[in-house]
Chain A
C-alpha cells in the first residue's frame, strides 16, 4: 500500500497550476487563425457552392437567397459582400473575411459564407 501525503488546504502549487493553464489558454487564443483557401456558401443550411479564395482574376459570385440575389466579391484571398438586397446590410458591414472559420451571415437572405481550409473532412458527423 502506497501512502501518499495528501494536502487538503489550498497550496501555492494549486494557484500555479491554475495560473499556468489560464496563461496557456490565453496564449493559444492569441495565436492568429490560419489563412483560409476556400469559401463555402450556404443558403438555408444547404451548401450551394464552394469557391477558391484565390481566383485567377477578381471574381463576383451571384447567390440567390430567399429575398433576392446578392453578390459576393472574391479577390486575393479575401471575400466580401459587394451588394445585397437586405435592409440592414449587416453582411456588407462585416467586411472582408480571409481566415479559416471567419464567417459572414446575411440573416434576411438566409446566406452564410464561411472560410474553410480546404482540407477534406473524413467524418460526416459526430453526435454527442
Chain B
C-alpha cells in the first residue's frame, strides 16, 4: 500500500514535469532536456525495472493526454523513446553498475531515447527523413541534456537514499 502511494506520487511528479516542460517555449524544436527522466532514474534506483516501467508508461500516457497529443505520431515516438531509454538505463544500472555513475547512465538513456525516436520516425512515419544528418545533432544534444538530467538525479537520489524517503 505504501509503495503504491509512493509510486503514484512519483508518477504525478513525472507527469507534471513532463507537461510543464512541454509548455515552455523552446528555441530548438525537437530537443528537450527531458527532466522527467530524473523520476525514472529515482524509481530505478529505489525499486526496480517493473516499477520504473509502470511510472514511465503512466507518464507517457497521462502526460500526452494533458498536452493534447494522445495517440498522435508524437505520442508513438515518445513511447518508443522512453521504452528504449528505460531499458538501456536499467541494463546499465543493474548489470554494469560498477562502471557508471548516474550521469553516465542518464547520458546513455538520453542517447537511446533520441536514437529510438528518430529510427521509429524513419520506419513508421517519414520514409524520407534524413536520419544520417539528424542523428549527430541528436546524439550531441543527448550528451548535454543527459549530463544535466544525470546531475539532477544524483542530488535527488542522494537525498532520497540518505533520508530514506522511500523505503
Contacts and interface: CB of A to CB of B under 8 A. Distances in A.
A10 B153 CA distance: 13
Given A26-B136, A28-B135, A126-B126, A12 B99 contact: yes
Instruction: Report the contact-size class of chain B (Cβ under 8 Å from the partner).
Output: 35 or more
Interface stretch (B7-15, B41-49, B56-64, B79-87): B41-49
Interface residues of A, number: 36
Contact of B101 (A7, A33, A101, A119): A7
B17 interface: no
Given A2-B94, A6-B97, A25 B139 contact: yes
Given A10-B103, A11-B101, A128-B29, A4 B94 contact: yes
B128 A121 contact: yes
Contacts, number: 105
A73 to B, nearest CB: 26
Interface of A: 1-2, 4-18, 21-22, 24-26, 28-29, 31, 33, 100-101, 117, 119-123, 126, 128
Interface string B79-118: 0000000000000011011111111100110010000000
A21 B30 contact: no
